[in-house]
Amino acid sequence: MTTHRIRTKRLLAVPACMALALTAGLGASHATAATSGRYAAQAEHAGLTGAQSVALQKDVDRYVAQTGGKQVSANRVDVPGGFVLVAVPGEKYARDLRTTTHPTSAADCDPYNFCGWPKSYYEGTVWERSKCGVYWEIPNGWNSGGSWWNNQSKGVVAKMYGKSHNWVYSTPPAQVGNGSYDATANWHPVWYVKAC
């Protein structure tokens, strides 16, 4: 008799779990559709095709999920102490779709920040952090190549760490007016960065 009751409860629990999972899935896709709808005009004004807009939103959603950040424009995710500016699919450099300007160099790293890119020569999505003393996890998928710019105050050194928070590399001290940088860096051993 007890075994029968347990089986009955389990049989009843399975459809309830399935219903909850379906509801959660619908809620997530509804939230994504609402978010992408909110920024669709911005993407269209910036000259994106429909396919680019859809692919961009998928990339933005991935960065939101990874970082716990908040989407604030068609391609920007604000995170504690910085932001991620997602490159439009098919474009070489990240650009802020709120202004539609095209960043073309490391000079687009804001003063008093550390910036990283997944590709050499500052190409692709840009990840920017400013707050000192925090281990900032670099974005998933940045496993090789890449570039960075330490645009902190004069003399400030950024430090990079591996998976176990083991020290990997310290940047040269930032210089007045141009920081320190590496256009052909290697993210492979790096998991975390302390901006200062």
Domain positions in the chain: 58-194
Note whether 64 and 71 are within 8 A (CB): yes
Residue 1 is predicted with a pLDDT of 40
- Name the percent of the chain lying above pLDDT 90: 58
Whether pLDDT at 186 is above 80 = yes
Residue 36 is predicted with a pLDDT of 55
End-to-end Cα, the chain, rounded Å: 65
> What is the rounded average pLDDT for all residues in the chain?
81
- How far, in Å, CA of 8 to CA of 2, rounded? 10
Residue 69 is predicted with a pLDDT of 95
Residue 94: name the closest of 65, 56, 129, 68 by CA. 56
Return the beta strands (E) in 40-135 as ranges. Answer: 70-71, 76-79, 82-85, 113-117, 126-129
Instruction: With residue 69 as reference, give the H or E element that holds it.
Output: none
Residue 82 is predicted with a pLDDT of 94
Task: Give the distance, in angstroms, between the CA of residue 71 and the centroid of all CA atoms in the same chain.
Answer: 10
- How far, in Å, CA of 109 to CA of 173, rounded? 16
Residue 99 is predicted with a pLDDT of 80
Note whether 86 and 63 are within 8 A (CB): yes
